[in-house]
Amino acid sequence: MRNDFVITATETMRNYASTVAGILSKYSDFSSKEQLDIVNALSVKRFADGEMEVEITTSVRGKDVFLFSSSARNEAGLCANMAKLELYHAIDALKRSRANRIIVFEPYVSCGRSDRPLMRNSVGLWIHFKILVNLGTSHIVTYQLHSDKSKSMLDPTLCVFDDVPIFTLLKKYLCDRYVKDTATLETVVHNKWAFCSVDAGGEKITRSFANSFNAPLVVAHKQRDYSKTNTIESINILSAEPIEGKTLWIIDDMVDTGASVYNLIIALEKLKPAEINIIAVHAPFSSPARERLAELTARNLLKRVIVTDTVYFPPSTPRDFPNLQIVQSAELSARVISNIVSDRSLSDIHKVFNAKEYLKNLDLFICN
C-alpha cells in the first residue's frame, strides 16, 4: 500500500528535488505519476520591506508532502536566515492547504552544531526543531546529523526523526573508484591504507571505515578553546601502527572553515604518510576553507577531497577546485522516499557496510 504523496522544495533545493523526482519516476511503482511533477509548486512573494509569503499553486489536500530545503550554501543564493524563513512559511502554507503529512527533508541541517545548552546561550538546533514541529511538521529526514545526542531533542510522539547514514554511499564510492576488486582490497588497502579521525568525537565513524575496509585506525585527539568558535589549541596523533608510507583517509562529518583538517594535516606531515585525503559528508566550505585546502594542495600535502552534494556546489566548482570529488546523493534520497511512502522500514539503508562482500558481488557481476 503506497500513500499519495508529492515532492516539492523551497527555492534552495528545487534542482535537487527535481533530480530525486526524476529518479523515482524510473521506479516501476512510481512511473508516470503526477505527484512527481510539482517540485515547483511553491510560489514565493517578497515584499519591499523584506517580508514574504509562500503560496501553494496546486492541491496537496490529503497527501504526504516531501519538502526539500537547505539553509546552507544553496542554488537560490539565500542566506541561512532567509532560507529558514522560507522553509517555515512553506510549512505553514502546506498545513493550511490540508496536506496529510509534511516531511521536511533537510540533507544538511546547518544549525546542527548549535546543540549545547551551556550557561545563557541559545541552542539553534532546538529552536529550529521546535519551530518545525509547532508549525506542523510530522517527520524530519536528514543525513548525518552532527551529534547523536541531538536526536533526543525531538519527541517522537509529535514528530518522527530519521537521521539516515550516508557514509555507506562514500564507502561504495571508495570501492568503485579506488579499490575496484577484492585483490586490491587484500594487497593494497589492508596493508597500505589507514583511516584517521579529525578528533576523538569522530572516532566512531572513522572506526566504521576502518572496520569496513579492514584497515588501521588513527585517532587525532584535538584540544579546542570553546570560548571561541572554530579554534584549535593542539592535536595529538594516536596510532597502533606506523603511519609512514601509508595512504591516509581523514574522515569527518563536515568541512566548514577547514581549521580542523588543516591543523591535522600539518601535524600528520611530520609522520611522513605517502598521501593524505579527506572524506566528508557535508561541505559548507565557509571562508577560509577553500584557501586552506588550496594551500595544502599546493604544498602537496593534500591529494583529494571527497564530499557529497548535501550542500550545493555551483557548476564552476570542478574548474575552481580540481581535486574535489562530489558524490551524488539523489539516488539515496529517492530510496528513502520510496520506503517512507510505502511504509517500509529504513533498516536496509542502515546495514553495516563490508567492502569485501560488496566487491565480491561486483566481481560476480563483472564475471557474468
Grade residue 2 by pLDDT with cuts at 50, 70 and 90. Answer: low
In this chain, the answer to whether the domains covering 5-164 and 167-328+352-362 adopt an identical fold is yes
Res 151: pLDDT? 86
- What is the rounded average pLDDT of the residues 37-42? 80
Amino acid 32: pLDDT: 47
Q: Render pLDDT for 81-125 as a digit per residue (tens, 0 to 9).
A: 999 999 999 999 999 999 999 999 999 999 999 998 887 899 999
pLDDT(319) > 60: yes
Q: Cell numbers of 27, please?
A: 521506479
Task: Tell me the domain boundaries of the chain.
Answer: 5-164, 167-328+352-362
162's grid cell: 530519521
At 328, list the grid cell: 551524488
- Cβ-contact 139, 101 below 8 angstroms: yes
What per-residue confidence (pLDDT) applies to 365?
46
Instruction: Give the range among 39-53, 220-234, 333-347 with minimum mean pLDDT.
Output: 220-234
Mean pLDDT of the 4-19 span: 95
**What was the pLDDT predicted at 45?**
95
Instruction: Write down the CATH number for the domain with range 5-164.
Output: 3.40.50.2020
Q: Quickly tell me which residue has 509529535 as its cell.
A: 158
Q: What is the pLDDT of residue 368?
A: 40
Q: Considering the domain delimited by 167-328+352-362, tell me its CATH architecture.
A: 3-Layer(aba) Sandwich (3.40)
pTM above 0.85, yes or no: yes
pLDDT of residue 226 exceeding 60, the answer is no
Question: Does residue 60 or residue 1 have the better pLDDT?
Answer: 60
Please give the pLDDT value at position 234: 65
Across 41-45, 56-60, 303-307, 344-348, the highest mean pLDDT is recorded for 303-307
More confident residue, 27 or 177: 177
Q: If pLDDT is split at 50, 70 and 90, which confidence band does 231 have?
A: low
Task: Note the pLDDT tens digit of each residue in 150-171.
Answer: 888 999 999 999 999 999 999 9
Mean pLDDT for 219-244 is 72
Q: In the chain, what is the straight-line distance between the N-terminal and C-terminal CA atoms, in Å? A: 35
Q: Residue 20 pLDDT more than 60? A: yes
Is the pLDDT at 367 greater than 50? The verdict is no
| Cα separations in angstroms, 346 against 64, 74, 120, 191 | 18, 27, 38, 34
Percent of the chain with pLDDT over 90: 78
Rounded mean pLDDT of the chain? Answer: 91
What confidence score (pLDDT) does residue 327 get? 98
Is the sign of the CA dihedral 28, 29, 31, 32 positive or negative?
positive
